Amino acid sequence: MISREPTIERLAVAKSLLLSPFGLDESHLARALAEIKAHRVDEADLYFQYTRSEGWSLEEGIVKTGSFSIDQGVGVRAVSGEKTAFAYSDDISEASLLDAARTVRTISSAAQSGRARAAIKKIAGARSLYLGTDPIASLDSTGKVELLGKVERLARAKDPRVAQVMAGLASEYDVVMVARADGTLAADVRPLVRLSVTVIAEQKGRREMGSSGGGGRFGLAYFDDKLIAQYVDEAVHAAVTNLEARAAPAGEMTVVLGPGWPGILLHEAIGHGLEGDFNRKGSSAFSGRIGQRVAAKGVTVLDDGTIADRRGSLNVDDEGNASQRNVLIEDGILKGYIQDAMNARLMGVAPTGNGRRESYAHIPMPRMTNTYMLGGDKDPQEIVKSIKKGLYATNFGGGQVDITSGKFVFSASEAYWVENGKILYPVKGATIVGNGPDALTRVTMIGNDMKLDSGVGTCGKEGQSVPVGVGQPTLRIDGLTVGGTA
């Protein structure tokens, strides 16, 4: 059997799902783009998408729900200056394409002189970070039900205090194709799976919850017995630990953040503030600060969409640009922002492969992929032992941030009170309050244990949700405000 180069293979898959069934080919795409270019616009693109999704959930010992859906359509965009005109349709046809093209070109009233032309003349450069497998077909229905049942049995056997187990299994097969007015054609085939485990433990009338899970861009075989047991252990441990938790003290104190998922604080408090649109408009606390020190020495933050199989990774972004490894902060100095095509053009820089959209029915904007801080040289145990009085937070729940001021609030779902270097007891109700840019300057110790999260992150921005990754090493931050219940 002769195999094709991955980029060519992805294009072939995209055409077979998004063009051929509707009697379309590249000449029809060129004609639609030419219709847009009949008026003076800075950018234009067509974004085709086919998505097949499946979900199963278990509760009270039985699989209660199952869902399956197929969605497909095309989004048509024209950009003039900083204005965007956008139309979309779930009807993929030549008539719909041309109608949408004529609609969006009205963003510019100035017609081009002569006849506008467009031709698909080059294939975009791309990564090969994951296989174009269909995860839904990687395990049959019986196997999926058995997987969830295994989660239930393991959790209940782990501890008699486990009163309730909830588990969910989600799979998605996403195929996208982008045709740009500059003649570029790009495609991606994106598998995505996730297993989530939530446990409720009960003791003496008190109920507490713990959760775990993970996933990425691969098939369901990833969830082997060892990994399932790990997720269950983590969820049960969190739930029973919280049964013993005391009210969290409040005040200004040293906070140590554990590795991995606590990087969600970095994502929210710093990452969003480094997105190009906020900085172009001057509404971010980081606006106009490239080349300046914005963090303590040793703090290096990256957004990297090129990590194999990761939930936030992309072979190409949703504008057809190859994903990149972008250094945002290096040794405390701000180096750059996360960019999509429009904001990059308006700021006079190159796109960074971060133009992302939730679906064909949404416009792209600069979004994070996998955002993390590099490790340092400190032993994690040494960092915890350095706390005279403070909080050691190993897991987080929800939070929010104000981009303009940089202020954030996060709730710790698993945390411990530490005195004189010793972990004394778990605490609950701890919220961490601070200012993103200020918090970066208060980092005093960086662990050598950088870890990415297990593959559960979803980022929301302006009503759009996309899968992302986060990560960090163990960090000591001095002088953060902790809101508690004690």
Question: pLDDT in tens for each of the 486 residues of the chain?
Answer: 445 788 999 999 999 999 999 999 999 999 999 999 999 999 999 999 999 999 999 999 999 999 999 999 999 999 999 999 999 999 999 999 999 999 999 998 776 655 666 677 788 888 999 999 999 999 999 999 999 999 999 999 999 999 999 999 999 999 999 999 999 999 999 999 999 999 999 999 999 999 999 999 999 999 999 999 999 999 999 999 999 999 999 999 999 999 999 999 899 889 999 999 999 999 999 999 999 999 999 999 999 999 999 999 999 999 999 999 999 999 999 999 999 999 999 999 999 999 999 999 999 999 999 999 999 999 999 999 999 999 999 999 877 888 888 888 889 999 999 999 999 999 998 999 999 889 999 999 999 999 999 999 999 999 999 999 999 999 999 999 998 776
Shortest CA distance to 132 belongs to which of 8, 21, 318?
A: 8
pLDDT value, residue 116: 63
Cα–Cα distance measured from residue 289 to residue 401, given in angstroms and rounded to the nearest whole number:
19
The pLDDT assigned to 486 comes to 61
pLDDT of residue 117: 67
Q: Quote the pLDDT of residue 300.
A: 98
Of 189, 191, 190, the residue nearest 11 (C-alpha): 189
Q: What is the pTM of this model?
A: 0.95
